[in-house]
Amino acid sequence: MYNQIDSNKRKTVYLFFFFAVFLIAIGWAFSYIYDSQIILVIAVLIAIFQSWFSYYFSDSVSLAVSGAKVAPESQFQELHHIVENLAITSGLPKPKIYVINDPSPNAFATGRNPKHASVAVTTGLLQVMEKRELEGVLAHELSHVGNYDILVMTVTVTLVGTIVLLSDIFMRSLWFRGRDDSNRGGGYLILIGIILAILAPVFAKLISMAISRKREYLADASGSLLTRFPEGLASALEKIEKYEQPMKSANRATAHLYINEPFGVDDRKQSWLTTIISTHPPIFDRIKKLRAM
């Protein structure tokens, strides 16, 4: 667990570094094409601000994008009791609890550290899960909190979103460039800029993949050790797998946060290539490993 925590903290530093270098490279291409150094200065400032914003406010962005609302304890007593008991057992502070009004059963954890963590569950999850199954799901999410998975997962939301947005702006800006600009001696730089803009969503996807698949297996295992009942989570994942309707708030930027893909896709019906590039490992494989415990 401690190795995983250290690894996640290193990954976060790498993400910030990669993001800053990429953003500055885009800014440099803009500044050369438009012959304005102020664009590069602005890119550096944006990189600094966005890194700071991502660290401190990505959890708020994730919750807002997902449509999560604070779950009053008076209305969701059992949910609060389960989370509180699991937090005490794991030695973690009780996270803030949110509910997403959506019939699709799913859940995610977010935040920069255990002291600033939040757990969100859908109303669909609360409706279809028995208590032991709900405990399994919440123990999985608290494992993400304890392992600091939430740090790198949450930061990725805004960094990836920013990269994709800036790439889209760059591509659109090329349509409005004048012919005189296109005749400048830096045509190869324009080509590099276009390549960077095209590859940005690919880079963003690779980042999400790198931080998602392995940590799901680890959270499954550590969550089961927390409850001492692997069957609870295995049964919960079976129910989640059977529900093929996508979440109303499903979003590519936040998909890697959830316990399962929020797009309602059956893993067994996906091609081998789709499975490889998915942010989550196949749910039937996760169930198999849990029952082997």
Q: What is the pLDDT of residues 91-107, one digit of tens each?
A: 999 999 999 999 999 99
Asked if residues 100 and 121 have their Cβ atoms less than 8 Å apart, the reply is: yes
Q: What pLDDT is recorded for position 183?
A: 46
Q: What is the pLDDT of residues 67-82, one digit of tens each?
A: 999 999 999 999 999 9
- Please give the residue that has the higher pLDDT: either 291 or 293: 291
Q: What pLDDT is recorded for position 96?
A: 97
Q: For the chain, what are the domain ranges? A: 2-292
Q: What is the pLDDT of residues 46-63, one digit of tens each?
A: 878 878 888 888 889 889
Q: What pLDDT is recorded for position 10?
A: 78
Single pTM value for the model: 0.79
The Cα 275–Cα 82 span in angstroms is 33
What is the mean predicted confidence (pLDDT) over 212-235? 88
Q: Of 28-32, 51-55, 137-141, 288-292, where does the model show the most confidence?
A: 137-141
The Cα 14–Cα 19 span in angstroms is 8
Residue 261: active-site member: no
Q: What are phi and psi of 164, to 5 degrees?
A: -65, -40
21 pLDDT higher than 70: yes
**Amino acid in position 185:** G
What is the helix (H) or strand (E) element at residue 116, kind and residue range?
none
Strand partners, 70: 98
206 pLDDT higher than 80: no
Span between the terminal Cα atoms of the chain, in Å: 18
Q: What is the pLDDT of residues 267-277, one digit of tens each?
A: 555 555 555 55
44 pLDDT band, cuts 50/70/90, is confident
Average pLDDT along the chain: 81
Classify residue 53 as exposed, middle or buried by CB count within 10 Å of its CB (0-12, 13-18, 19+): middle
- What secondary structure letter does DSSP report for 246? P
201 pLDDT higher than 80: no
What is the mean predicted confidence (pLDDT) over 12-26? 78
Q: What are phi and psi of 119, to 5 degrees?
A: -125, 130
- Which of 125-129, 154-158, 271-275 is least confident? 271-275
Q: What is the pLDDT of residues 236-245, one digit of tens each?
A: 999 998 887 8
Lookup: tokens for 285 = 């494989």
Q: What pLDDT is recorded for position 127?
A: 95
Q: Which of 135, 141, 241, 261 is catalytic?
A: 141
What is the mean predicted confidence (pLDDT) over 166-181? 61
